[in-house]
Every structure is written in structure tokens, then in C-alpha cells.
Amino acid sequence: MSEYVQTPEEEGGNTMMPAPPALPGAVPAAGAHGGHQPERGPDTGGGLYRQSNLRRRSRNIRSRLAHALCALSTVIAMVPLALILFYVIYQGAGALNFSFLTSLPKPVGESGGGMGNAIAGSLILIGIAAVIGVPFGVLAGTHLAEYRSPRLSWIVRLLSDTLSGVPSIIVGVFVYTLLVLTFKQFSAIAGGVALGILMLPTVARTTEDMMRMVPDTLREASLALGIPRWRTITSVVIKTAGGGIMTGVMLALARIAGETAPLLFTALSSRTWPMGLDKPVASLPVQIYTYAISPFDAWHKQAWAGSLVLVLMVLLLSIGSKLYFGRKMQRAR
């Protein structure tokens, strides 16, 4: 693909022969994933429809320029990622130690103190969210994949896609009006419900996709043994699709672990250890936010350390699930 001239002479024999690129650093073929592309030989000249050298060269240069710009934008997008990771590790590692992970926050002016309660609170909130979001999401996904009712399915699918685009703060406002106003109490439950709603679309849609990949022959084999349909779904289909569903759940957990906005006025925050599910509870992201916008240097350091913990948590969940799923997919093939 290094020369883009068609001449009548070339049409005959040379097309299938891969020719060495005429210019060093030539552009790789556009359809690189499609295997070998027949390459044109160097221009032998003299054709009836031959383009001028100048025009051909300018088209090649333009193509190479576009290629370079596209590669450049990929590199540019990585700069902020690298910078953020660098600063979080550099600033966070300095303030991170064992007591940070296990102790309560100290009042301003006293040194030390940590985010132990916030980490515990985050785990509680994620736990509540999983208890609500996973069964709900898996069942909804099961309905979409196994009981295909055309009228209901497309609207559920559309709405769950739409729900994933609803800003998380609005889910927070919704849960506030639904639970906090009703029970007149900020609580861990309210925070967990908000996070559970946020993980719903991811879990439902991955469950559906994964269950659809299970071949019908497995279902037929199970039904042919006289096994009721619901047992077929729970012990054959869900079991087969389990790895993929797990991946979706982990991705959803990674997403909600870092959510701050929906917790601001549902779980609120607290400077003590979690006191109960019906009481306000601290969480890592909210604590980071509070410390980051405070005017105190010591708190800023703690915010960086908290970010390091949070980023590690989220990245482990999301990279882990992706690698796991990648291996699964390869084995399936």
C-alpha cells in the first residue's frame, strides 16, 4: 500500500506480489486486522491514466500526516492519565501509612489521623449497593435474555441504557426525596440504594449479553432431561455465563466505588466509625472531597493519600475484571 497508482500495465501480474515499500517508514495497510493486503508494486510509469508524481506524492503525504495526527491524539490523551497517576502516587504515597488506613480523622491542628472510618464506610455502602443491585440487575438481565417479550424488552433495554446516562447526582436527589425525606434521616441505607441504582444498568446489560452467548443447545439439552425452565436458567445458563456476569458486576462496583455526588446528601458523612445502617456514614470519596476543598495543608495531604487508596481500589477492580474476561473470551474461542 505504499504506492497508490493504478496503471493498466500493472493490473495484470503484479497485484498479488507484495512489493517492498518504496519509501522508508511507509504507512501500514489500512485494513491491518484483515490480514495481508495485496500491495502494489512500484510505479513502472507510462500508463494512460497515470497521475502526476506530484499529485501522488501529495496524497501520500496527506495520508501519512493524518495517520500521524491520529497517533498524536492518542498520545495526547495519555498525558493527563500519566500525570494524574503520577501525582496521586507521588503525593499520596508520602502521606499513606498503616495508621492512615485504620484510624479516625483527627481535628484540624492535630497531626496524624486517617480515613479508617471512611474506608469502612465505603465498603459498607458498596456492600449494600451490591446486595440491591446485583440480584435486581441479574434478574432484569435474565428477563431480557431468556423471556424475550418484544414489547417490554426493547423499552427496558432503552431505559436501562438511558438510566446509565442519568447524572449520578440526580440519582442522589431522587433517593433523597424518596428515603431521606420520608425517614427524616441521612443513612447508610440511602447511600447504598443510590449506588445500587447506579450499578443496575451495567449489571442488567452485561447479564443479558452474556446469557445470549450461551448456546441454545445447552438449554435444549437441559430441558430435554425434564429439568424445569427456571432450574435450567439458574443452573445451566447463569452458571455458563457466570464469568461474564461476574465481570460486569466488578465493573459496576468499580464505577460506584468512586462515586461521590450521590452520597453527598444520602449517606452524608461522619467523623466516627459507622454506627449503624440507619445512621450517616463516612465514605472515601466524600472524605476526599471535603478535605480537598478545605483550606488546610494537612488535610490536602490526607486527600491525596485517600485518592491513592481509592484509585488503587478502582483500578484493581476494573483492570482485574477486564483481564479476567479477556482470558475467558480467549478460552471460549
Partner 1 sequence: MPHLARLSKARRSPITKTKSITANLRRSLHRGIRPGRGRLGDSLFAAAAFLAAAGIIALMALMVYKLMQQAMPAVEAFGAGFVTSTEWDPVNNNFGALPFIYGTVISSLLALLMAVPLSLGIAIYLSQFAPSWLRSPLGLVVELLAAIPSVVYGLWGIFVLAPFLGKTVEPFISGHLGGIPVFRGPVYGVGLFAASVVLAIMIIPTISAISRETMRNVSRDQKEAAQALGATPWETVKMAVLPLARPGIIGAVILGLGRALGETMAVTMLIGNSPKISASIFAPAYSIASVIASEFAEVTEGRHMAALIEMALILLVITLALNLLARLLVQKTGSRATKAKARP
What HEC string does 262-302 produce? HHCCCCCCCCCCCCCCCCCCCCHHHHHHHHHCCCCHHHHHH
**Helix (H), strand (E), coil (C) string for 69-137:** HHHHHHHHHHHHHHHHHHHHHHHHHHHCCHHHHHCCCCCCCCCCCCCHHHHHHHHHHHHHHHHHHHHHH
| Interatomic CA distance for residues 187 and 265, integer angstroms | 9
3-state secondary structure of 36: coil
Q: Give SS3 for 43.
A: coil
Q: Can you list the alpha helix ranges (DSSP code H) found in 107-262? A: 116-146, 150-165, 168-175, 181-183, 188-212, 216-224, 229-231, 238-257
Shortest CB 102 distance to partner 1, Å = 22
Candidate residues 169, 218, 277, 312; the one interacting with partner 1 per rule CB under 8 A: 169
The only residue of 69, 151, 184, 331 in contact with partner 1, by rule CB under 8 A: 69
Among 20, 25, 74, 151, binds partner 1 (CB under 8 A): 74
Site for partner 1 in 113-132 (CB under 8 A): none
201: nearest Cα among 244, 256, 257: 256
- Contacts (CB under 8 A) with partner 1, residues 277-296: 285, 288-289, 292-293
Contacts with partner 1, 245-274, as mask; x by CB under 8 A: ---------xx-xxxxx--xx--x------
Check: CB of residue 192 under 8 Å from CB of residue 276: no
User: Contacting partner 1 (CB under 8 A), which of 16, 48, 54, 70?
Assistant: 70
> What does the alpha-carbon distance between residue 251 and residue 131 come to, in Å, rounded to a whole number?
15
Of 176, 189, 248, 274, the residue at the interface with partner 1 (CB under 8 A) is 176
Query: Should residue 311 be labelled a site residue for partner 1 when binding is judged by CB under 8 A?
Result: yes
Residue 160 near partner 1 by CB under 8 A: yes
Of 95, 104, 123, 156, which one interacts with partner 1 (CB under 8 A)?
156
Q: Which of 124/256 has CB closer to partner 1?
A: 256
Least distance CB 14 / partner 1 (angstroms): 14
Task: Take residue 194 and report the three cell numbers written for it.
Answer: 443510590
Q: How far is the CB of 97 from partner 1 (least distance, A)?
A: 19
Residue 223 lies near partner 1 (rule: CB under 8 A) = yes
- Residue 211 within binding range of partner 1, rule CB under 8 A: no
CB of 128 to partner 1, least distance (A): 17
Q: Which three cell numbers stand for residue 209?
A: 449479553
The CA distance from 165 to 184, in Å, is: 29
Least Å distance, CB 106 to partner 1, is: 20
The answer to whether residue 167 forms part of the interface with partner 1 (CB under 8 A) is yes
C-alpha cell at 10: 500493472
Q: Which stretch binds partner 1 (CB under 8 A): 83-91, 95-103, 107-115, 237-245?
A: 83-91
Q: Given the complex with partner 1, which of 32 and 275 has the nearer CB atom?
A: 32
